[in-house]
Amino acid sequence: MDHPADSPTLPDGTRLGRTALRVADLEALTEFYRSVVGLAVQEQTPETATLGVDGTSLLVLERTDAAQRDPDAAGLFHNAFRVPSRAALGDAVERIRTHWQLDGASDHRVSEALYLSDPEDNGVEIYRDLPRDRWPRSADGTVEMATLPLDLDSLTAESDGATSVPPETTLGHVHLEATAIGNARDFYVDTLGFEIQMDAGAALFVSAGGYHHHLGINTWNGHSEPASARGLAWFEVVVPGADAVQAIRDRLGKSDVSVSDLSGGIAFTDPDGITVRLRVE
């Protein structure tokens, strides 16, 4: 897509790494993400659990005694786990029907997606991408997503009954609930360097490298308070080189955003108090 020559952009290899939730019932949430979503438990302590695929961590659960999330607070709309095939998505339908409840399913013209909520009402999406050369695009190169019915019977017909997701599964995107789209645009686009892929007014979809979206941001539910202690703890953006980390650190400094150092990267918060971690691939 076209953009001003002086506007910041993230490198093409940018992707999401992990996401973390603060939860009250660590055991129940761990079992949900294992048996329903299909992630493998990689590490578990009395206070945390790490789940993922084939040695790659995708989700961290952190026990908290904090009160339930303020319904007016910004935070997570859903974490979206991307599976590599239609058969794997069919497997997910069967796991959800066996162990849980499906909230919705949609054909977005760029992907096919299943929606559900975990035991503490954190949103979850499991999806697979359609071939990139089939994504409908506008004249300016941005994508044209839609919300169409998804044929679940055709999905389950391709299932092979797997009880876990394939090793190629990733954290495809994270969708946030913000208090103001303008503030989110200033931060994620003008400062961090994500590019707008679709602007739906009360929802913004942004990415790096032309992906349909690494982040969704919406104000559909009218949240007016900063993020609370329960729910989304942080999510991680992975960039292909240290130069990108330094460039973002410089841009954050110019915007008076406080930055802390992490091993291999940095951490900072967005205008709604949501923590973003940035690290090198």
pLDDT tens digit string along 169-208?
A: 999 999 999 999 999 999 999 999 999 999 999 999 999 9
Select from 88, 74, 241, 251 the least CA-distant residue to 163: 88
Report pLDDT for 229: 87
Query: How many Å separate Cα 68 from the centre of its chain?
Result: 21
- Mean pLDDT, the chain, as a whole number? 96
In 3-state terms, what secondary structure has residue 244? Answer: helix
Q: Is the pLDDT of residue 5 over 50?
A: no
Confidence of residue 2 (pLDDT cuts 50, 70, 90): very low
Q: What percent of the chain is modeled with pLDDT above 70?
A: 98
Query: How far is it, in rounded angstroms, from Cα 82 to Cα 172?
Result: 5
pTM value surpassing 0.85: yes
**Side chain identity at residue 201, one-letter code:** G
Q: Which domains does the chain have, with CATH numbers?
A: 15-280 (3.10.180.10)
Report pLDDT for 7: 67
Taking each continuous run of H as one helix and of E as one strand, the counts in the chain are 5, 17
Distance (Å) of CA 235 to CA 53, 131, 140, 142, 221: 17, 26, 29, 24, 21
Backbone φ/ψ region at 36: left (φ over 0), alpha (ψ -120 to 50), beta: alpha
Tell me if 269 sits within 8 A of 255, measured CB to CB.
no
Q: Element (H or E) spanning 196, and its range?
A: strand 195-199
Q: Is the pLDDT of residue 6 over 90?
A: no
pLDDT tens digits, 202-261: 999 999 999 999 999 999 999 999 998 899 999 999 999 999 999 999 999 999 999 999
Report pLDDT for 68: 82
Strand locations in 40-147 (E): 40-44, 48-53, 56-63, 75-82, 104-107, 111-117, 123-129
Q: What SS3 string covers 24-52?
A: CCHHHHHHHHHHHHCCEEEEECCCEEEEE
Confidence of residue 58 (pLDDT cuts 50, 70, 90): very high
* Token reading at 160: 């092979």
